[in-house]
């Protein structure tokens, strides 16, 4: 159970999240939708305790992680996995070592078990034949898939994905979407998927929230999202309808403005 | 005025954060898990990797010191005693300082840029996300390796420098070998050897911790990586020279 309660966060330039609250029920797949720069990645970093909010609390399994010390946080993090937006593979390790990193580090399993688990995870994303490559030898999409394999390998109870399908071809996108669905139905993994790909969102979501400028503007199911008549939601779902005005430009935080000279 | 105040606050903050990183890194030595393999890897990188430049540094320093020393001793007819000058100045000052400056240039800046690139590509966050303590894994291992290797490298540099002096003394100044070596060792007091080993430990600490601090606090993408690297080199070189002065002062006081 993940409970985000009235979280606010500010960087130098101003508020990035304003009074954000939402709940992720165990076993559900929450999709966070929203335009670029609205604070989606920031939410995932908060969930892992990589950054701390200015106010509010983040409760994971009944434990408030705000203000936890790094060492205690380490234990919480080991029940979760994050697929970074930019993959963030360890440059100095091979693909195999990257994927098996946490299992080796924990040292609780036999080498054969870990090897098998790594192979299995790499097979999911179709990359078992590059297991001895270094990350620098992979394409962007391949790195992303290795990052997904790394998250899967340690069988965490919570998986956070930051744009898992951005930069992937349709086949791989489909495979990843199916993977997320299967983890949901077969293994009841709690998942949070950040995306701005609407097809992915519709395919995998049990629960959707949508952000705009660091605020939650929608919370509900896919059907409710489709039926929503919020202006920002409509603009996000069918930009053509709104942005067809001449001299209409996007703004930095995902909104739009009409400029007339 | 407000600007100066901000700057001062910034410095105080940096010193505080630096001290905190040092404390955590040192505490990491005594906590599990111990990354033995990593530590050996860095020892190899630092030690074997720096050996060649330090041999050159030592050799040429010893040789030039002998040439200059002989000119100064000439009027007093003391040229045969040049080895006294060489061994004391090398063991007390030049060996440790020059070795440390070379290592700062090669190893310290390497540490800074490596950690800086890990920082800007989110690999440090990825380590934290995997439940690993990045300070223990990245800083403590390197700290142990530098603390062990810098003294070893300094002793080698000292040896080579005195040998370099010997080459010039023997073949250019025609000083007897036995005479050179006898006076080289005669001039050294036991405490010189002890102090000569305390210095490199302190320098090693500075090199590693300044490099790690600069690397871990990198901001602003690849531009930041270059900045951190330069900053690490400049800061650690200055700290080495400053701490050398104060240590020398202290050692003279202690006798
Ligand atoms: N370290 C930081 N320092 C200052 N501002 C930051 C920092 N990280 C993020 N921001 C700001 O916070 C806002 C939200 O960033 P975030 O990375 O969460 O966006 P996002 O929703 O993930 O966008 P995208 O879909 O493009 O990845 C942005 O406006 C960004 O400028
Ligand atoms: Mg993002």
A40 CA distance to ligand 1 middle (Å): 8
HSE (side-chain half, CA atoms, 13 Å) at B196:
25
CA A27-B130-A98 angle, to 5 degrees, is 105
Q: How confident is the model at residue B181 (pLDDT cuts 50, 70, 90)?
A: very high
Contact B80, B175 (CB under 8 A): yes
Q: What is the pLDDT of residue A149?
A: 94
The residue that leads in pLDDT, A214 or B114, is B114
Q: Output the furthest CA–CA distance in chain A (Å, rounded).
A: 69
CA atoms within 13 A on the CB side of B145: 29
Question: Quick one: average pLDDT of B180-203?
Answer: 92
User: Using a CB-CB distance cutoff of 8 angstroms, which residues of chain A are in contact with residue B125?
Assistant: 45, 50, 84, 88
What's the CA-to-centroid distance between A261 and ligand 2, angstroms? 33
Q: DSSP alpha helices (H): ranges in A1-80?
A: 40-47, 70-77
User: Closest Cα partner for B215 from B203, B230, B201?
Assistant: B230
- Tell me: pLDDT of A97 over 90: yes
- Nearest ligand by distance to the CA of A83: 2
pLDDT at B102: 96
Q: For residue A253, what pLDDT band results from cuts at 50, 70 and 90? A: low
Residues with CB under 6 A from ligand 1: A 11-13, 16, 34, 36-42, 85
pLDDT of A245: 64
Identify the band that residue A254 occupies on the pLDDT scale cut at 50, 70 and 90: low
Are B121 and A91 within 8 A, CB to CB?
yes
Q: Is the pLDDT of residue A126 over 90?
A: no
Q: Which domains are assigned to chain A?
A: 1-79+159-224 (3.40.50.300), 88-155 (no CATH), 229-261 (no CATH)
Average pLDDT, chain A: 88
The mean pLDDT value for B110-118 works out to 95
Of B118, B196, B184, B119, nearest in space to B151 by CA? B196
**Mean per-residue pLDDT for A184-203?**
90
Express each pLDDT in A212-247 by its tens digit. 888 899 999 999 998 888 878 888 887 776 666 666
On the CB side of A57, how many CA atoms lie within 13 Å of its CA?
A: 9
For the ranges A233-242, B92-101, B226-235, B240-249, which has the lowest average pLDDT? A233-242
CA distance A38 to A210: 10
Strand runs labelled E in A87-183: 158-162
Q: Does the beta carbon of A143 lie under 8 angstroms from any beta carbon of chain B?
A: no
Interchain CB distance below 8 Å, B131 and A84: no
The two three-digit tokens of residue A9, written as one number: 């966060």
Q: How far is CA B78 from CA B51, B165, B178, in A?
A: 34, 16, 16
Residues A259 and A247 sit within 8 Å (Cβ to Cβ):
yes
Closest protein CA for atom 16 of ligand 1: A39
Positive or negative: CA dihedral B32, B33, B34, B38? negative
Expressed in percent and rounded to 5, the helix, strand and coil fractions of chain B are 90, 0, 10
CA–CA gap between residue A227 and residue A233 (Å, rounded): 10
How many Cα atoms sit within 13 Å of A172 on the Cβ side?
A: 18
A6-10, A224-228, B201-205: which is most confident = B201-205
Q: What is residue A248's predicted lDDT score, i.e. its pLDDT?
A: 67
Q: Rg of the Cα trace of chain B?
A: 21
**pLDDT (tens digit per residue) in B26-59:** 999 998 888 999 999 999 999 998 999 999 999 9
Highest mean pLDDT among A8-22, A88-102, A177-191, B26-40: A88-102
Q: Give the Å distances, CA to CA, from B14 to A100, B26, B28, B140, B217.
A: 36, 18, 21, 20, 10
Cα within 13 Å of Cα(B68), Cβ side: 9
Answer whether A210's CB lies under 8 Å from A33's CB. yes
The whole-number pLDDT of residue B241 equals: 97
Contact B121 A86 (CB under 8 A): yes
* Spatial contact of A208 and A31, defined as CB atoms under 8 Å apart: yes
User: Residue A205, preceding bond cis, omega within 30 degrees?
Assistant: no
Q: DSSP E strands: which ranges in A54-181?
A: 55-60, 63-64, 80-83, 158-162
Nearest to A238 by CA among A251, A223, A252, A225: A225
Q: Whose CA is nearest to atom 5 of ligand 1?
A: A11
Of B145, B144, B123, B121, the closest CA to residue B134 belongs to B123
Is the ipTM, as predicted for this complex, more than 0.85?
Answer: yes
Instruction: Closest CB to B131: pick one of A50, A77, A84.
Output: A77
CA proximity to A188, closest of A28, A22, A58: A28
**pTM listed for this prediction:** 0.89
Say what the pLDDT of residue A258 is.
67
β-sheet bridge partners, residue A208:
A31, A220
Distance in angstroms (rounded) separating the CA atoms of residues B21 and B131? 18
Task: Give the distance (Å) from ligand 2 centre to CA of residue A196.
Answer: 10
Asked if residue A257 has pLDDT above 80, the reply is no
């Amino acid at each position: 159970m993940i409970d985000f309660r009235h979280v606010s966060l500010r960087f130098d330039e101003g508020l990035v999240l304003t009074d954000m609250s939402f709940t992720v029920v165990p076993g559900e797949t929450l999709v966070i939708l929203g335009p670029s720069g609205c604070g989606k990645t920031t939410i995932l970093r908060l969930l892992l305790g990589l950054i701390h909010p200015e106010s509010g609390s983040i409760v994971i399994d009944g434990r408030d992680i705000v203000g936890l010390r790094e060492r205690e946080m380490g234990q919480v993090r080991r029940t979760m996995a994050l697929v970074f937006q930019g993959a963030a593979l360890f440059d100095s390790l091979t693909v195999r070592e990257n994927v098996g990193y946490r299992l080796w580090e924990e040292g609780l399993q036999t080498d054969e078990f870990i090897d098998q688990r790594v192979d299995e995870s790499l097979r999911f994303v179709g990359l078992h034949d590059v297991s001895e490559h270094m990350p620098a030898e992979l394409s962007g999409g391949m790195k992303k898939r290795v990052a997904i394999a790394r998250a899967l390998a340690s069988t965490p109870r919570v998986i956070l994905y930051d744009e898992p399908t951005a930069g992937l071809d349709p086949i791989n996108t489909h495979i990843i979407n199916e993977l997320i669905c299967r983890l949901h139905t077969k293994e009841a993994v709690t998942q949070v998927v950040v995306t701005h790909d609407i097809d992915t969102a519709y395919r995998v979501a049990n629960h959707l929230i949508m952000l705009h400028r660091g605020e939650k503007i929608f919370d509900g199911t896919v059907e409710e999202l489709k039926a929503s008549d919020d202006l920002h939601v409509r603009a996000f779902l069918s930009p053509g309808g709104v942005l067809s005005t001449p001299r209409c430009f996007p703004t930095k935080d995902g909104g739009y403005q009409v400029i007339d000279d | 005025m407000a600007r100066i105040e901000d700057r001062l606050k910034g410095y105080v903050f940096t010193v505080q954060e630096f001290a905190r990183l040092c404390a955590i890194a040192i505490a990491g030595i005594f906590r599990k898990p111990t990354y033995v393999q990593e530590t050996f890897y860095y020892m190899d990188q630092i030690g074997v990797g720096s050996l060649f430049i330090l041999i050159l540094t030592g050799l040429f320093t010893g040789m030039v010191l002998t040439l200059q020393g002989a000119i100064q001793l000439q009027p007093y007819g003391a040229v045969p005693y040049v080895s006294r000058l060489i061994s004391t100045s090398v063991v007390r000052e030049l060996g440790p300082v020059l070795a440390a400056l070379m290592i700062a240039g090669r190893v310290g800046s390497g540490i800074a840029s490596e950690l800086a690139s890990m920082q800007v590509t989110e690999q440090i966050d990825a380590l934290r996300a995997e439940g690993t303590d990045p300070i223990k894994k990245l800083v403590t291992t390197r700290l142990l390796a530098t603390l062990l290797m810098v003294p070893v490298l300094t002793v080698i540099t000292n040896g080579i420098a005195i040998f370099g002096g010997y080459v010039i003394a023997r073949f250019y100044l025609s000083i007897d070998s036995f005479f050179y070596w006898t006076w080289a060792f005669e001039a050294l007091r036991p405490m010189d050897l002890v102090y000569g080993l305390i210095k490199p430990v302190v320098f090693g600490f500075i090199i590693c911790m300044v490099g790690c601090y600069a690397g871990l606090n990198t901001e602003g993408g690849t531009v930041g990586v270059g900045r951190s690297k330069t900053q690490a080199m400049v800061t650690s070189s200055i700290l080495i020279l400053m701490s050398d002065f104060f240590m020398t002062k202290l050692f003279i006081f202690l006798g």
